[in-house]
Amino acid sequence: MVLQKPLLFARELISRNLKAGGYAVDATCGNGHDTLFLAELVGRDGSVLAFDIQPQAINATRQRLAANGLLERVKIIEASHTKIADYSQMAFDAVMFNLGYLPHGDHSIVTKPESTVAALHFAAEQLNKGGIITVLVYTGHEGGKEEGEKVREFSSALPQQLFTVLEYRLLNQLNNPPFLLAITRL
């Protein structure tokens, strides 16, 4: 077995848990790669909410979904992931977070510990039994290490009777490699 990079492992975990007809959230849609991935998994009868605060990310995501004929499966929202509760009170089957900054975008616009933990708190409350949250944590930017610590603290404090939390990281990689936190509801 070859060990996967954290993003690929996150997708593998999501694909094991998110089935056709499911309901998923991309909390940080970025350039739309994870949103497309989720839209493919939920199929025709499922749906995805995708959030980002940057118009560039919203446009990239919309274009990627349209090019693949999957735009109708996704509601794209230009807002912080802290606003998930404003758009849905339904239970989620999967939620993906990809923290840090928008690749090829403005690196001064980054996810923040307070908003990320608030969004994770709501996502965990709304997670279906058997559902999964993946959090890809990048720490190489200003504030990234602090956000990683806060997200890790939140995840570690989840009650073990209700959740299982996995931390996955490659230890011998250079330049602040990302790590993955995966949370499943029992």
Whether 56 contacts 91, CB under 8 Å: no
Average pLDDT in the 49-75 region? Answer: 97
Query: What pLDDT does residue 133 have?
Result: 98
Q: Are 102 and 30 in contact (CB under 8 A)?
A: yes
Q: What is the pLDDT of residue 147?
A: 94
- Provide the pLDDT for residue 105: 80
What the block records as the tokens of 12 is: 């593998």
CB 7 within 8 A of CB 178: yes
Rounded Cα distance, 123 and 129, in Å: 12
Reported as a single tens digit per residue, the pLDDT across 82-131 is 999 999 989 999 999 999 887 878 887 888 989 999 999 999 999 999 99
Contact indicator for 139, 133 with CB cutoff of 8 Å: no
Helices marked H in the chain — which ranges?
6-17, 33-42, 55-67, 84-87, 113-126, 144-156
Tell me how far apart the alpha carbons of residues 55 and 81 are, in angstroms, rounded to a whole number: 14
* Separation CA 151–CA 114 (nearest Å): 9
Whether residue 181 has pLDDT greater than 80? yes
Arithmetic mean of pLDDT, 25-47: 97
List, in order of start, the domains of the chain with CATH numbers: 6-185 (3.40.50.150)
Report whether pLDDT(141) > 80: yes
If pLDDT is split at 50, 70 and 90, which confidence band does 68 have? very high
Q: What is the pLDDT of residue 103?
A: 83
1: pLDDT strictly greater than 80 = no
pLDDT of residue 7: 94
Is residue 83 packed enough to be buried (19+ CB in 10 Å), middle (13-18) or exposed (0-12)? middle
Under 8 Å between Cβ of 121 and 155: no
pLDDT value at 41 more than 80: yes
